[in-house]
Structure 1
Amino acid sequence: MTMQHELPVPAPARNARRRTHAVPRPNEGVWPGLATPPVAPVKARIAESLFRNAVRSLPVRVVLPGGERIGAGGPDSPVMRIERPAAFFARLGANSKIGFGESYMVGDWTTTDLPGLLTPFAARLSTLVPPTLQRLGRRFAEARQPSEEVNSLEGSRENIHRHYDLSNELFALFLDETMSYSSGWFADGSDDLVLAQQRKMDGVLDMAGVRDGMHVLEIGTGWGGLAVRAAQRGARVTTLTISQEQKDLAEQRIAEAGVADRVQVLLRDYREARGSYDAVVSVEMVEAVGEDYWPTYFAALDRLLAPGGRVGLQSITMPHERMVVSKDDYTWIHKYVFPGGLIPSVTSIEQNLAADTGLRIAERRSLGYDYARTLGHWRESFLDRWEDVAALGFDETFRRMWEFYLGYCEAGFRVGYLDVVQFSLQRRPGASS
């Protein structure tokens, strides 16, 4: 695997963007600082003690060199093999919210059932470390969100670029043919991901009341699947993205679907949108907005929606109390996958709607377990197609990073720590548009 301690001088073009802190560049095999575990013996000893105490009651089997075993799991329980204990506990002690995932990326620990192993950890995520130590860690030890990753206009473009512009070809290898990078909605008795994604898209469009003759605004194009589906209903669609790579492929796919005359793809931030639309749809975009900009985002939905219109919103959510205590944390997901993101709670969505808009939640639908199944499909496809992914230039560290990301999220949805909800937003009686 390729790991570099320092960032090299970036190449011209898109990689010449200004950065004032070292960030991973997975599509270039650049992993600043990852090769060397931190030297913090006291923190490592504390981390080892906390880890041993935490897993002692979990339904897992942890195996250390020399054959020592800890955990309450039986013979069929998932197994975690700690290959390099010193490095593992050093990373965990330096920052548990980042070090656990980094340790998997470099092979400090392994498992043959990653989501199965992570599921019991996710089920007790809020209690694995005593609350007092959690508060002390947040105050004195753990990293905070870098100011460079705030979701200003420029910051949002850089944050989106770091994830969604990894490679259109990469996403095409593990997503289904609809290129939907969000939860599907499986019909009873079906495990067909394509049908689940089409059902999800129809669910969002129904929440927004999209029908023939409407002009629909989509915030967050992805690769064009929802815009195509809306156009096939007879709607005219204006869809916004801030990723040039996504815009290019979305336009190609829209043309191939035969609806280019009905869909316009704009390289534009939601804050720059203008006009009035019969319906607005946005799928798993609000998680990338950031708490500081939620009022602006929800106010934009209100401002852009014509009188009598509805919004179809799909959002990952988390319990409100967990969101409140963890909203300033800088986690492994932030560092390696979604910089600048924050998953809202249903309560926070309701609060922002009440404070900054005339909108309310009129209908909702939970799809949390469907997301666990969706992520399982993606993870299996990614691993099955790894040779094709590697041929695009991605290294072994990226393989383990992406596998951990998908497995980590799957575990969160399995146990209900995370949910995903489709909302129909409508104006409150008497609210002005």
Structure 2
Amino acid sequence: MTMQHDGIAVPTSGGARGTRPRTHAVPRPNEGVWPGLATPPVAPAKARIAESLFRNAVRSLPVRVVFPGGERLGAGGPTSPVMRIERPSAFFHRLGANSKIGFGESYMVGDWTTTDLPGLLTPFAARLSTLVPPALQRLGRRFAEARRPTAEVNSVEGSRENIHRHYDLSNELFSLFLDNTMSYSAGWFADGSDDLVLAQERKIDGILDMAGVEAGMHVLEIGTGWGGLATRAAQRGARVTTLTISQEQKTLAEARLAEAGVADRVQVLLRDYREAQGSYDAVVSVEMIEAVGVEYWPTYFAALDRLLKPGGRVGLQSITMPHDRMMVARNDYTWIHKYVFPGGIIPSVEAIEDNLARHTGGLHVAERRSLGYDYARTLGHWRTRFLARWDEVEALGFDETFRRMWEFYLGYCEAGFRVGYLDVVQFSLQRRPSF
């Protein structure tokens, strides 16, 4: 495949999943294309400010930062994570140009390294809101940081493109680091167990219970994944209609459903949630709302309400973040948006409750369960498996830049769940009784 860092290249072989015209340059990891990544931005004034802020921030963190020549910063002891700044100038220029993107990009290109990525990122995540003074945060949002591209708004067509950029990377890639259930969401570990398969099965049963799924029901799933939840619902005796906008996922999900012997009870539709029709005894949606976008939350919750029969329940699993942080960050364009989940936004519990109150006919949160620390453990499993099987991932056509990108993505998320900056919640949504 083509290996190009600057500009958009046309792939010559391998890895391509069908490129589409775009109005702005975006990374194409499965084609080895990383627009603009090879060359650090030139921003000397911003770099000096970034260096001053970084040095001041890490002095009190339980980490050890080592510069070329031996200079050391940080409040960490001998067993604390070590961050080695290999190319200080490039690192601070990337950080100064846009801290929310540059920090991750500098890891992707090797400007800094560490032997314990989630361990290093955890103390940063714990103090994320205080590392930079509030006044400078506001100034940065206004003048320095990139805004989310309009091309990544989650319209029907925009959602398909955003999902294509992540979930259609390669079914084989995901199969190498996920467990046998092919669940790409938080597991729910039983006390004393570290078995990821059992944790994922427990999670699936947990959300099906939240929706009250039983034999004889017709269940709608919004967001098929690779068919694990639909399989389990069918094994309970339910009939399932499941929606996906990823052709790659639809193909593999149907094969897995057939292998499990439940294909006659599950229909996989290549369809957006906004195009869904019918009336269902239960609706389930696991970690799909994060791809909806703030402007479409009313439409999403109205769809849940419209598609649910009277007396039915919704099982909703969502990553969440504190409401104040969500409000501050909802228009930001971050490293995660650029490289992993274009168009994504994580809601708060308050935002979910507010949208239920405003845009449904009485749906409310009747029960909830937090699995935040379980997600940290799940991500740890994925990262370990990904690195252990890197040779097989590389054989699929992915390059070293992708390896560092995916490792940073998994470690960055693990750190967020470790410290509670992120949570994941299972909700049972029910209609309030009318009197």
Q: Per-residue displacement from partner, 1:266-310 (whole Å, max 9, x unpaired)?
A: 000000000000000000000000000000000000000000000
CA distance in 1, matches of 2:7, 2:258: 43
Which residue number corresponds to residue 6 of structure 1? 7
How far has the Cα of 1:4 moved from its partner?
Answer: 2.1
How far has the Cα of 1:3 moved from its partner?
Answer: 3.9
Q: Does 1:341 align with 2:344?
A: yes
Which residue number corresponds to residue 395 of structure 2? 391
Counterpart selection for 2:149 from 134, 146, 161: 146
CA distance in 2, matches of 1:126, 1:269: 35
Which residue number corresponds to residue 188 of structure 1? 191
How far has the Cα of 1:9 moved from its partner?
Answer: 4.4
Q: Per-residue displacement from partner, 1:82-141 (whole Å, max 9, x unpaired)?
A: 000000000000000000000000000000000000000000000000000000000111
CA distance in 1, matches of 2:10, 2:183: 35
Which residue number corresponds to residue 279 of structure 2? 276
Which residue number corresponds to residue 79 of structure 1? 82
Q: Does 1:423 align with 2:427?
A: yes
Q: Does 1:224 align with 2:233?
A: no
How far has the Cα of 1:429 moved from its partner?
Answer: 1.8
Question: 2:263 is paired with a residue of what secondary structure?
Answer: coil
Contact 2:3 2:31 in 1 (8 A): no
CA distance in 2, matches of 1:154, 1:425: 28
Counterpart selection for 2:245 from 242, 252, 259: 242
Q: Per-residue displacement from partner, 1:236-259 (whole Å, max 9, x unpaired)?
A: 000000000000000000000000
Q: Does 1:315 align with 2:313?
A: no
Which residue number corresponds to residue 285 of structure 1? 288
How far has the Cα of 1:10 moved from its partner?
Answer: 6.7
Counterpart selection for 2:379 from 375, 397, 416: 375
CA distance in 2, matches of 1:108, 1:133: 24
Which residue number corresponds to residue 164 of structure 2? 161
Runs of 4+ in 1 over 4 A off after TM superposition: 9-14
CA distance in 2, matches of 1:5, 1:238: 43
CA distance in 1, matches of 2:295, 2:179: 34
How far has the Cα of 1:179 moved from its partner?
Answer: 0.1
Question: 1:32 is paired with a residue of what secondary structure?
Answer: coil
CA distance in 2, matches of 1:336, 1:413: 20
Contact 2:125 2:416 in 1 (8 A): yes
Contact 1:271 1:297 in 2 (8 A): yes
CA distance in 2, matches of 1:10, 1:220: 30
Equivalent AA in structure 1 for residue 55 of structure 2: R
CA distance in 1, matches of 2:301, 2:112: 42
Equivalent AA in structure 2 for residue 406 of structure 1: L
How far has the Cα of 1:17 moved from its partner?
Answer: 1.4
CA distance in 1, matches of 2:269, 2:100: 37
CA distance in 2, matches of 1:341, 1:57: 32
Equivalent AA in structure 2 for residue 238 of structure 1: T
Alignment RMSD: 1.3
Q: Does 1:37 align with 2:40?
A: yes
Question: 2:331 is paired with a residue of what secondary structure?
Answer: coil
TM-score between the two structures when normalised by the length of structure 1: 0.98
Contact 1:313 1:424 in 2 (8 A): yes
TM-score between the two structures when normalised by the length of structure 2: 0.98
Counterpart selection for 1:350 from 336, 340, 353: 353
Question: Which ranges in structure 1 are unaligned for 5 or more consecutive residues?
Answer: none
Question: 2:264 is paired with a residue of what secondary structure?
Answer: coil
Contact 2:11 2:31 in 1 (8 A): no
Counterpart selection for 2:366 from 326, 343, 362: 362
Contact 1:213 1:236 in 2 (8 A): yes
Contact 1:3 1:34 in 2 (8 A): no
Which residue number corresponds to residue 27 of structure 2? 24
Which residue number corresponds to residue 202 of structure 1? 205
- For residues 10 and 296 of structure 1, do their structure 2 counterparts lie closer, same or farther at Cα, with a shift above 3 Å needed? farther
Which residue number corresponds to residue 326 of structure 1? 329
Which residue number corresponds to residue 133 of structure 1? 136
CA distance in 2, matches of 1:24, 1:79: 29
Contact 2:44 2:93 in 1 (8 A): yes
